[in-house]
Every structure is written in C-alpha cells, then in structure tokens.
Amino acid sequence: MVSKVLIANRGEIALRVIRACREMGIASVAVHSTADDNAMHVRLADESVCIGPPAATDSYLSIAAIISACEITGADAVHPGYGFLSENAKFADILAAHNITFIGPKAEHIRIMGDKIAAKARAIELGIPVVPGSDGEVKTAAEAAKIGADMGYPVLVKAASGGGGRGMKLAMTEADMETAFSTARHEAKTAFGDDAVYIEKYLTTPRHIEIQVVCDAHGNAVHLGERDCSLQRRHQKVLEEAPSSVLDEKSRAAIGKIVTDAMQGMNYLGVGTIEFLFENGEFYFIEMNTRLQVEHPITEMITGVDLVREQIRIASGERLSFTQDDIVLSGHAIECRINAENPETFVPSPGTITAYHAPAGLGVRMDSAVYAGYPIPPYYDSLIGKLIIYGDDRQSCIMRLKRALREFVIDGVDTTLPLFARLVEEEDFNTANYDIHWLENYLGMKD
C-alpha cells in the first residue's frame, strides 16, 4: 500500500482525501497557496507545504511545485482530487517518471478521453451507444452541410478539446450551419488552441445520466449505478441524485454491463464516470470523466462504497474490495452544491463567513472545508460545501433535505441555500419531472 499521500488540491475534496488516508493509516501531505495558509486542509493533514502564490497557475496547477513538495516530504503517491491537475495526462506521466504513484487512471486513458473525438471513436469500438453524428472530425463547411442534410436538423457542432459544454454551437436548420460551424471552429481554436470539431444530432429534451465505474489492476470492473445530474445551470451542476427516477433495474443492469465490459476491454484503471444523455429510454454516450467527481458522495451513500478508499487501494495494486454481486443499491441520495454566490444572479460572493452552523443528524452529510470566521478567497471556485442527504426513498430524502435546509446557517456571504429552499417546493422537482433544460427555464421564469 502507498504510505504517504500528497493531496494536490484544496477545499472539501482535500479533506475528503485526508479523511480516507487517516482511516487507512496512511500519512497525508497538504499543499497550499499563500491564500490558503488558514485553510482546513492545511490544518487537518499530517504535514503541509506552501507551493506558491494565490493564482492557481502558480500553485495548485504547478507541476514543478507539486513534484518538489513530494520530494521534500517523501510522499510516494499523489491524489489530484477533481479539477486542477486531475485530468492532466502529462502530470500523470511526470509522476510516473519520478516513481510517484498517481492515484488515478493511466495517462493513456486520460489522454484519449480528453479528446472528445477520440473518446467517441473508442466508445464505439467498445460497444457503447453514442449520439448519431459525424465519423470523427469535420474539416469543412461543405462537409458539415452534407452531414446536416443527411442526418436532419437540429445538430450540434462540438469542439474535440471541449467538454463540459465549452465550445458547442447549435444549428437549428441548414441556414444556421455555416455560422455554427465557423464560430465553433474559431472559438475552439481561441479557447483550446485546437480547432477540431465534430457534429452530432441534437437531442432536444434528454436527461444527463452518468454511470460510476471502478476498476482494479487485476481485470475487475464494477459499476455502482447512476447519478442523475440533469439539474444544471450554464453547465454547472446544481443538484444531483442517485438513483435516477427514470431507470428501472433492468435498464440499469443493461447499461452497467455495457460500460463494465467496455472498461475491461480497454483495461481501464481506477474510478471513472461515463456520461450519457438519456432520451426516450435510450442511452447516448457523450463523454467520459477520468477522475473522482464532485458528486461522488451520493453514489457512496446508496452503495456503502468508500470511493476514495477504493482509489487508494487500486493505485496500490490491491483488488477491489467487492464484486458486482456485492453491490446493492439501497435508498436515495441527493447532493446540493452550496456556493458562495448570489442565489438570483449566481455572481460569486467571496468574503468572510461570520456565522456557520451546518445541519446534521441521521442521513445528513456535509462535505465542506469552511468554518465560522473563514475568509473565502476570491481566487478559486465558489463551492462552500456539498449537502448530501440520504433517505430510504426519494420522498423521505426530500423531506430530510427540507429539514436540513431549515437548520443551515451561513452568514457573511451570499449563498445558493435560498435556491434549494425554493426548489424542494416545486412540483416538477417533487415528481422528478425534469430534463437538462428544466432548471434554466425555471430560473428564467421568475421576475
């Protein structure tokens, strides 16, 4: 087993990893910028190293600074959390060259999945259903027009280096195609330095459903069911739930078998999430995330699996501590992302938290790294924490979420708590009657 893990991250996810390390008897090292001297992850880790100034590019994203921190502390493994260097194949390669274990997938798989065209081609080879579209890159407007005419509108032009909604352009009709194609290419070039684009049939009212997988170095692949992440605003997830209300056991088992076979087929290692759009009972692959995700706790709540512990075990060469038959989904879990943002405009609201009281009690988990008196720095994302609720079924989970929201006190900064208080009263939320556009429409309806 690895013996000392350096966490190349901050905030709640750094605490999540430190907690898993402590429970496994593994030493932990925090790294931090000068803006995070007083951060909880620095206090809770066994050791800490300052790796640079506030700007993430000079600290949490500095590969040289992180390798140095490993050398100084003798850390033999790095957990990247999510964001920052978590899906940086070069970082995984450099760690390997330094004989430091990357607690994540192989660099090769990070690289393939980072290129959405390559990812989709691989998905097809592996037997994963994808959205109908172009055969790889589309290089000219004429080719784009031909595909649009053959496939039928509407279509989406997507950047190969995009993902998470960046670099997408919708063409509703043939008349939109030329502009959609050229703007998508131009924006892709500007944003990612790569103008490769591809085309897909536009699914109008899907859900976003993602399957959690976990694979060891001994050829075992297990899926842990799905998360429904349809409630998003500008490609930022707001509330996620597991299981999805639109899947039954049969369709869950069927897609689960498809993805575990695929992961075995590519010798995938570690945790991963295969993202699908789900419409009219069919799954369509869009992307794969080769990291631990923000919303992983809801899967932990309904499966009882500690995903970070499994990541550390897998990276150490151990076998999965369970088989597919051991996995029984039970109950329902909901995660609310509590951000330091204006709940109407979503403008970030950095500042000092003057009072803080998190809800607790049966079925209530709060993954956060803030405390009363904590000054939220303006340099990083605005996540205060994740309120994770478990209940025997969706109805009792929502009732428990409502009572937890009433207990929550966060003073000093604006938060998205009022949004959740409204959301849990909505009929469409209570009946799980929503698609990927529902939340933005709901937010646009008011005033």
Candidate list 41, 106, 111, 208; residue touching ligand MV4; CB under 6 A: 208
Strand intervals (E) in 24-96? 27-33, 47-52, 77-79
What is the rounded distance in angstroms from the CA atom of residue 328 to the CA atom of residue 225?
9
> What is the gyration radius of the CA atoms in the chain, in angstroms?
22
Number of helical H runs and strand E runs in the chain = 15, 20
- Binding segment toward ligand MV4, per CB under 6 A, in 144-152, 196-204, 251-259, 289-297: 196-204
The residue (of 41 and 208) whose beta carbon lies closer to ligand MV4 is 208
- How many Å apart are CA 6 and CA 8, to the nearest integer? 6
Query: Interface with ligand MV4 includes 152 (CB under 6 A)?
Result: no
Tell me how far, at minimum, the Cβ of 97 lies from ligand MV4, in Å: 32
What minimum distance in Å lies between the beta carbon of 295 and ligand MV4?
13
Rounded distance, CA 346 to CA 72, Å?
40
Interface stretch with ligand MV4, choices 56-64, 71-79, 157-165, 405-413 (CB under 6 A) = 157-165
Name the nearest CA neighbour of 12 among 412, 358, 351: 358
- If binding means CB under 6 A, how many residues of this protein chain bind ligand MV4? 16
Distance separating alpha carbons of residues 275 and 285, to the nearest angstrom: 6
Identify the CA nearest to 104 among candidates 120, 123, 88, 122: 88
Q: Is 240 in the site for ligand MV4 (CB under 6 A)?
A: no
Instruction: Between 230 and 368, name the residue whose CB sits nearer to ligand MV4.
Output: 230
The mark string for 281-310 relative to ligand MV4 (x by CB under 6 A, - otherwise) is -----xx-----------------------
User: What whole-number distance in Å separates Cα of residue 89 and Cα of residue 243?
Assistant: 31
Binding letters toward ligand MV4, positions 15-34, x by CB under 6 A: --------------------
E-strand stretches of 153-281: 155-163, 166-171, 197-201, 207-215, 221-233, 236-242, 270-279
User: Starting from the edge strand earliest in sequence, which strands make up the sheet with 155-163, in order?
Assistant: 166-171, 155-163, 197-201
436 scored as a contact of ligand MV4 (CB under 6 A): yes
Which x/- pattern over 116-135 shows residues binding ligand MV4 (rule: CB under 6 A)? ---------------x----
Neighbours of 207 (CB within 10 A): 23
**Which of the residues are catalytic?**
291
Residue 184 near ligand MV4 by CB under 6 A: no
One of 202, 278, 434, 442 touching ligand MV4 (CB under 6 A): 202
Chain residues that interact with ligand MV4, rule: CB under 6 A: 131, 156, 163-165, 200-203, 208, 232, 235, 277, 286-287, 436
